[in-house]
Amino acid sequence: MPIQDLQHSDYRIRKLIGSLGLALPILLPIASNQFLASISHYYYSTLSSLLFIIILSAFGLFLISYKGYKKDIETETISDDFLTNIGGFAALIVVFIPTVCEESMSTYISLLCENENLPLFGHNNPTLGTIHLVSAGVFIFCMGWMSKYKFTRGRNTKFNTLYRRCGTIVFIAVALIIVGVILEKLHIDFFINNYYVFIFETVAVFAFGVSWLVKGKAIENIVAFKNEVVGTSENDNTENKEDS
């Protein structure tokens, strides 16, 4: 791939996406004070619904704004911009077409379902639920594709193994969710039957969150900040010694 310069705004977007990826599965259970069957079910819990909408909307807008590298015609068929646009619009669909209200593993949400007292775009429509599930899968899959195949093309190759492993983890997590859905449809119970979607979604989101943070030069920024603080401290100590 020819050497290209990346816009500074893209580095910031990478760090923001990575930070959101790490924050999403942590903040939602804390805000709701409970674990639900999936990340998407937090849409129906009062405080966590706000966080869910804000974070997923931010994901969508940041991904649509992200440009990345221009497509190498000789080696690539899909550009960074095209892939992140797909992921961004999929994230927005996840927000505007939430998952079905049922089977959330929450008594409070179950009562909302029974009374049909659903918030905003809440529903119990199986077709809309399928659209939501597919959109969530597309969003996570695009993030994994970026990690495994797009982040490994740059001049700095020291983190390529990390990017590939993160991408692989994302793909495995998506595959395990699909397997879980199939087993559930076949009425086959397994040891994490009630929370498997949340568990594998969390694994996938953490994996791509780490890769986006690293690709956004978060580690370099932390090291530079540390060196700056240490350098300032040393200068202050030198000045104090000279004054004495």
**Averaged pLDDT score across all residues of the chain:** 87
Q: What are phi and psi of 100, to 5 degrees?
A: -65, 150
Q: Return the SS3 of 123.
A: strand
What's the predicted TM-score (pTM) here?
0.85
Measured CA to CA, the distance from residue 52 to residue 2 in angstroms comes to 39
pLDDT class of 239 with cuts at 50, 70, 90: low
Examine the pLDDT at 244 and tell me if it is beyond 50. no
For position 238, what pLDDT does the model report? Answer: 52
For position 77, what pLDDT does the model report? Answer: 84
Q: Return the SS3 of 100.
A: strand
pLDDT tens track for 27-72 = 999 999 999 999 999 999 988 999 999 999 999 999 999 988 888 7
For position 18, what pLDDT does the model report? Answer: 93
Sequence letter at residue 96: F
Between vectors from CA 175 to CA 37 and to CA 32, what angle results, nearest 5°?
20
Examine the pLDDT at 220 and tell me if it is beyond 80. no
Residues 6+ apart with CB under 8 A from 138: 86, 87, 90
For position 201, what pLDDT does the model report? Answer: 96
Contact present, 138 and 86 (Cβ < 8 Å): yes
pLDDT tens track for 99-144 = 999 889 999 899 988 888 888 889 999 999 999 999 999 999 999 9
Closest to 101 measured CA to CA, from 53, 38, 48: 38
Residues 6+ apart with CB under 8 A from 9: 65
pLDDT class of 7 with cuts at 50, 70, 90: low
Q: How far is CA 31 from CA 20, 133, 190, 197, in A?
A: 15, 23, 28, 19
Measured CA to CA, the distance from residue 229 to residue 225 in angstroms comes to 6
Closest to 134 measured CA to CA, from 90, 92, 96, 103: 90
244 CA to centre of own chain:
53
What are the domain boundaries of the chain?
Answer: 8-243
Q: Where is 57: in which H helix or E strand?
A: helix 46-65
Examine the pLDDT at 191 and tell me if it is beyond 60. yes
For position 236, what pLDDT does the model report? Answer: 55
Q: Tell me the CA end-to-end span of the chain in Å, nearest whole number.
A: 57
Tokens for 175? 């595959």
Residues 6+ apart with CB under 8 A from 209: 17, 18, 19, 20, 21, 22, 24
